[in-house]
């Protein structure tokens, strides 16, 4: 990217610079020159604009996508289908284990794990993806050259080498409280769905879940105990229709209809194994049949197929033992 190209983009879209306005950018061209110098300083530095092929495809579809992103690490991974994992910074031991295990299992199936590199659930999610040798992206509320919190210095380095650090803020932007909620729309926007593990009712994680729902993405939640209050936010999401998650299959089955063809091509190009859920027979239809009674109308609506097509394919699933016809509709019989 040349200086003139970046300046031209900044003429039409604002760039988040931690208080530096667009007018100030136009009056201080050295800011643009500094960004380009940063990009040239290392092979794994990248400035990604909205019309670049490397720009996360789902992020383009949200109401207010950043016009420019700064990436550090393997920026080519930003086009891999992702699931966001968020939750409490002061998570319980069980919550950390759940976040790490679910993230590890999803990463093993070729799903990229997206989170915010905060303490607690975010950190466990990134570690789970790294454990599996999978891809993970950390969307920062600082510039990509800033590691926050400091205790995550080793994790920061591991993500840089195995995944990607991403921010809409200028590379040297320091931690500022107002920037962290702002980055949540990117975490949910990059991802096909958002999983919440341990969150209180007044939690930033619920902001991410709300944004995901507004962006038309799936929302998942892990239930917890009712005494400590650490999972009150998750229970609130479940009451509002979030999908209850007990294992990674609960997530990958739900998103398989969306990602099957996408993962097949992208997984091969990035040497990431394809998810088992995408090898299921007729995945878009199978994911439409739940383990409780699902009416034919629901199956048709969720799958997006014509009723004749649904009846033909669901008969095939019956013969293979995946679903069964029951009074009121159909039920799912087995997992992959």
Q: What is the pLDDT of residue 28?
A: 54
Q: What is the mean pLDDT of residues 303-326?
A: 80
Structure tokens at 336: 């992959």
> Would you say residue 21 has pLDDT above 60?
no
Which pTM was predicted? 0.73
Asked if pLDDT for residue 53 goes beyond 60, the answer is yes
The CATH code of domain 281-336 reads: 1.10.10.10
Least confident piece of the model among 39-43, 107-111, 309-313 = 309-313
Predicted local distance difference test score (pLDDT) of residue 9: 55
Residue 143, preceding bond cis, omega within 30 degrees? Answer: no
Say which DSSP state 168 is in.
S
Strand partners, 195: 85, 220
Nearest to 293 by CA among 323, 317, 251, 322: 323
The bridge status of strand 112-115 relative to strand 82-87 is parallel
How many whole angstroms separate alpha carbon 179 and alpha carbon 220?
25
C-beta separation of 133 from 106 below 8 A: no
- Per-residue pLDDT tens over the stretch 163-215: 999 999 989 899 998 899 999 999 999 999 999 999 988 888 999 999 999 99
Do residues 233 and 201 lie in contact, with contact meaning Cβ atoms separated by under 8 Å? yes
Between 227-231, 236-240, 253-257, 258-262, the lowest mean confidence (pLDDT) is in 258-262
- The answer for residues whose C-beta is within 8 angstroms of residue 236's C-beta and 6 or more apart is 201, 206
Element at 194 (helix H, strand E) = strand 193-197
Q: Which one is predicted more confidently, 248 or 271? A: 248
Antiparallel, parallel or unpaired: β 136-139 and 112-115? parallel
- The pLDDT tens digits of the residues spanning 34-52 come to 888 899 999 999 999 888 8
For the sheet containing 45-49, what is the strand order?
A: 45-49, 68-73, 164-167, 136-139, 112-115, 82-87, 193-197, 218-222, 243-244
């Amino acid at each position: 990217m040349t200086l003139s190209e970046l300046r031209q983009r900044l003429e039409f879209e604002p760039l988040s610079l931690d208080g530096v306005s667009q007018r100030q950018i136009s009056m201080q061209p050295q800011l643009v020159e500094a960004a380009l110098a940063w990009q040239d300083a290392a092979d794994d530095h990248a400035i990604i604009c909205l019309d670049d092929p490397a720009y996360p495809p789902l992020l383009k579809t949200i109401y207010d996508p950043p016009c420019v992103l700064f990436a550090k690490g393997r920026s080519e991974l930003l086009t891999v289908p992702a699931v966001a994992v968020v939750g409490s910074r002061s998570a319980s031991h069980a919550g950390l284990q759940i976040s790490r295990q679910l993230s590890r299992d999803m990463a093993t199936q070729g799903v990229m794990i997206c989170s915010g590199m905060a303490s607690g659930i975010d950190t466990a999610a990134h570690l789970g993806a790294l454990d599996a040798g999978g891809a993970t992206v950390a969307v920062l509320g600082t510039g990509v050259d800033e590691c926050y919190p400091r205790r995550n210095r080793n994790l920061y380095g591991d993500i840089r080498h195995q995944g990607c650090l991403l921010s809409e803020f200028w590379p040297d932007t320091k931690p500022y409280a107002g920037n962290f909620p702002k980055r949540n729309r990117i975490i949910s926007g990059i991802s096909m769905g958002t999983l919440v593990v341990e969150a209180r009712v007044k939690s930033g994680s619920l902001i991410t879940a709300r944004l995901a729902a507004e962006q038309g993405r799936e929302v998942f939640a892990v239930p917890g105990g009712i005494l400590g209050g650490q999972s009150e936010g998750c229970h609130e999401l479940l009451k509002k229709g979030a999908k209850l998650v007990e294992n990674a299959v609960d997530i990958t089955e739900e998103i398989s209809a969306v990602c099957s063809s996408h993962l097949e091509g992208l997984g091969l190009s990035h040497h990431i194994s394809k998810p088992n859920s995408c090898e299921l027979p007729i995945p878009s239809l199978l994911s439409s049949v739940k383990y409780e009674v699902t009416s034919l109308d629901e199956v048709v609506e969720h799958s997006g197929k014509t009723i004749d097509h649904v009846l033909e394919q669901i008969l095939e699933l019956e013969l293979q033992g995946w679903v069964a016809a029951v009074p009121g509709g159909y039920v799912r019989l087995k997992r992959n």
